[in-house]
Chain A
Amino acid sequence: MIRPRGPSVFLERRIYRMRRKLDALRLMPLLAGILFLIPLFIQPDFGAASGATSRVMIYVFLVWAGLIVMLGALLHQLRPYLRSGGLDLPLEAQMASPASEKERAPF
């Protein structure tokens, strides 16, 4: 029989998710940098009326908007965690706290 998972397991899972979201937050600038460089690699033909300029323009604005939405959504989900820690890597602190409580408990 499978024992029902306790609340502590659920909590750890949530914190795990949050940590990965924080990783995503950290990697955002890398992603943005790569995406904004792409127009350079494909070097479209900027001949007369080729439409390249408008295509690149649309691409840049779509990426831009996408990144904004992504970051906004990410921060919206991370907000409670970031707030509570005053932007001080609160998740690390949360992960560390059960262990340190165990150490403190005997006193």
Chain B
Amino acid sequence: MLFLFSVAFWAERLPAHAKARWFNLPIIYTLSLSVYCTAWTFYGAVGYAARSGLEFLTIYLGPSLIMFAWWWSLRKLVRVGRSQKITSVADLISSRFGKSNTLAVLVTVLAVIGTTPYIALQLQSVTLSFAAFAKADAQVDMLGNTGSIALAVAVGLAFFTVLFGTRNLDVNERHSGVVMAIAVEAVVKLLALLAVGVFVIWGLNGGVSSSLQVIDASPIGRQPIVPARWIGLTLLAAAAFLSLPRMFQVLVVENQNEEHLLTASWAFPAYLMLMSLFVVPIAATGLKYMPAGANPDLFVLTLPLSQGHEGLALLAYLGGFSSATSMVIVAAIAVSTMVSNHIITPLWLRAGGGGAHISGDIRVVILRSRRLSITGVVLLGYLYYHFSSGTSALAAIGLVSFAGIAQVMPAMLGGLFWRGATRSGALAGVSIGALVWLYCLFLPSFGSSVLMPDQLLANGPFGISWLRPHALFGVVGFDPLIHAVFWSLLLNTGSFVIISLISFPSPVERLQGAQFVNVFDHSDAPRGWQGQTAQTEDLLIMAQRILGAPQAQALFSSAAQAQGLDGYLPDPTPDFLRQLERELSGTVGAATAHAMIGQITGGVSVSVQDLMAVADETAQMMEYSSQLERQSAELTRTATQLRAANDKLTQLSVQKDAFLSQVSHELRTPMTSIRAFSEILRDGADLPPEARAKYSSIINEEAQRLTRLLDDLLDLSVLESGTVQLNLRSGALKDVVDAATQSALAGQADLAVKVHFIPPHMKAMRLHTDLDRLGQVFINLIANARKYCDADTPQLIITAQLRGAFVQIDFADNGSGVPRDAQDVIFEKFARLSDQKAGGAGLGLAICREIVERLGGAISYVPGGQGAQFRVSLPIRAPKL
């Protein structure tokens, strides 16, 4: 025991770099897995073999299979555990299924029920082995009766575990001292068992072949392998290996580096193989040498003792002691983490009411609750031992416990590999499996009439025979253990799958499901915090209480730095909240961390950005939007409106950007020519006169282009801003058209223009509108036809028709028209069709549209005509604005 303390102390005291070097050794990880081999295997395997032959091998073959299958199983489990900062099996399952605390409590209770007898078993083995020693050596006897030994061991272990198991609150800091102590113990127990084995084979039996003869001659040699038990127990051991709290602790929580799996996957099976190598020879030899009636569970110890090898026996005793203590320590840490995170802290938080705002240091509370849990778990084990020792219950409890904790398996694997697995399914599966296990295996295991009346066992409850615990549904003749494992896991898995199929997961569940199942795609993907308005200071206060002041401050200031801020207070961005939640969940579990941050961030009114983000998420998660809508129809509606407004703003800003960029282009292009040629003229005294004339005229031309552009821009901005003064007066449509035609053609005959009025008396039709602006529109349309009509003999037909209170004027040319994809944009600013040969800035049609709209009409492009066809539709009397 003292040795344990010193190893742990040494490990904890190591300087940081040496610590990193030591604990980054994959071999330490591998050895720490040996916590699987408890006293039940150290002493019990030999007893098991003496009673049932080779069947004990299944207990080691199961975990070996899991290790051989590490690529499929452990790789994912470890990654999920690390990326989600999982603290225990209960936390894993709760976290996967929407951070459900109910589920966590259920798993925790199951773990406590399964672990307590197991701890009792360790205490018993320590006491029995001590008693065996004491019998042989009277000197040691002065320590008193065996009961006080068990109590002393329990107290010592609880003390050790509290000391080294709760030094660091954040589980992800890992328990380096404990792990190191366990690794050392792993070596001790392996060496001890190997030493006893070597002694038996070469010392007692005189070699391998004669040992084999001893085996075959012993009762073990007549024990057949029962196929159902062989397969069932292998699978059971495999399942237990993954889901036992202590195994999850060392496999996932204490894992320093994923790459350690590369070593452990072959080295740990090797460890298991060595542990079981000499079990059968020891058992057979024990049966041969020891008096009939000697407890085979203690052969490892009593065999060397009976042969007078006290040193070897002492080593064996140390091995057994190591096995027992390491199991108790790790199991106590693992189970207490669950109890503290999922039962005590939530209760305390609820009792305290105000979440993190309440006075008092949460850190102290959590530490205290965890210490209390550890002591409680170990004490519970002791009490169990105290009241059940002497009954047959303890010997069988190993497998019973395995079967209990294996009920977690379907939910765990389903959660890791099946996105459709839901919280309701997991709840149903685990609880039904646990009930069947309690009823068929756990309660009967205490022996007849201890916890379950004989009457019930034999005839079923109320005489219903198909409910007999050992013959469920009338299936008789099964081995009770296999019977219970079969039915509990079958009903467990069945209800898990069926309920999952018919139930509907919540959004958080869906997010977590994706994160777990596709962990390799996005190990760092988001999970939902949108609180912009969370009070960072409150968060810091809370985090300090949980993580401790220095660590919390370091976390916050590094986050602030990452955001480009000074000091300790980063903006509470969703990213930061997620990071904080992950850190906190390493200490208090996912559901509690979620609730705590929720209490701080949720209490304040929701900001616009929150709503936007929620709305965006709504869009992303269309699958269950209907449910979201029902739950928060109001919120969603508001958010959608906000999003629409935002979209419009964004669009406007993009348009404005594009417009400025276009204006820049249109202004700079003529300026480029002007500047280049003016420099040429300035520098070139020797230019020939023709060149000078030409370049000067280019400058002039481009300057005019600039002026036109500026005019157009001003015109457009006046029109767009709505400040334009319309000069409404009456006049004949025909006059406006004629004047525009004349002006647009500018005396050139390169476009034939025909004007039709339908009916003809339309010629005399008078409009009340801004005639100058209307003329500007017509000029533009005619000039466009002149510029862009690519027919050999360009022609433009203008048709004016009366349409109710409107006149409709079509401008149709015989060119190739506007391409389909450009028709939508020609009225936009700078939407020039092809090249710049036309010399316009591409503002003409935009101006036309603005004018016509001001006059209460509309302008559109009519597709499907022979050439380009524009239609202006105007009210006969323009509305007064």
Contact = CB atoms under 8 A, between A and B. Distances in A.
A and B touch in the complex (CB under 8 A): yes
A29 B222 contact: no
Interface in B625-683: none
Interface string A3-19: 00000000000000000
A26 B259 contact: no
Interface in A17-73: 25-26, 28-29, 32-33, 36-37, 39-40, 43, 46-54, 56-57, 60-61, 64-65, 67-69, 71-72
Interface residues of A, number: 39
B223 A46 contact: yes
B75 interface: yes
Per CB-CB distance, the 8 closest pairs between chain A and chain B, nearest first, are A29-B69, A72-B266, A46-B224, A54-B212, A71-B266, A53-B221, A40-B227, A32-B68
16 contacts: A29-B68, A40-B230, A47-B222, A52-B221, A53-B54, A53-B215, A60-B54, A61-B273, A64-B269, A67-B269, A71-B68, A72-B266, A72-B267, A82-B259, A83-B259, A89-B520
Interface in B313-363: none
B217 interface: yes
A98 interface: no
A71 B57 CA distance: 20
Interface of A: 25-26, 28-29, 32-33, 36-37, 39-40, 43, 46-54, 56-57, 60-61, 64-65, 67-69, 71-72, 75, 79, 82-83, 86-89
Q: Of B72, B215, B220, B224, which is in contact with the most chain A CB atoms at under 10 Å from its CB?
A: B224
Given A46-B223, A49-B221, A65-B273, A28 B69 contact: yes
B273 A29 contact: no
Interface string B254-286: 000011011101110110010001001000000
A57 B65 contact: no
Nearest to A69: B266
B273 A56 contact: no
Nearest to A78: B262
Contacts of B261: 87
Interface of B is mostly: helix
Contacts of B266: 68-69, 71-72, 75
Given A46-B221, A49-B217, A49-B221, A87 B212 contact: no
Interface of A is mostly: helix
Contact of B71 (A26, A40, A65): A26
Nearest to A48: B222
B227 A26 contact: no
Contact of A36 (B72, B234, B265, B273): B234
B259 A64 contact: no
B201 interface: no
A3 B628 CA distance: 65
A49 B216 contact: yes
B79 to A, nearest CB: 7
A48 B68 contact: no
B233 to A, nearest CB: 12
Contact of A54 (B61, B221, B263, B520): B221
Given A28-B68, A50-B216, A57-B54, 5 more contacts: A36-B234, A40-B231, A68-B266, A71-B68, A83-B259
Contacts of A82: 259, 262
Contact of B258 (A33, A56, A86): A86
Given A48-B222, A54-B216, A37 B231 contact: yes
B662 to A, nearest CB: 26
B65 A26 contact: no
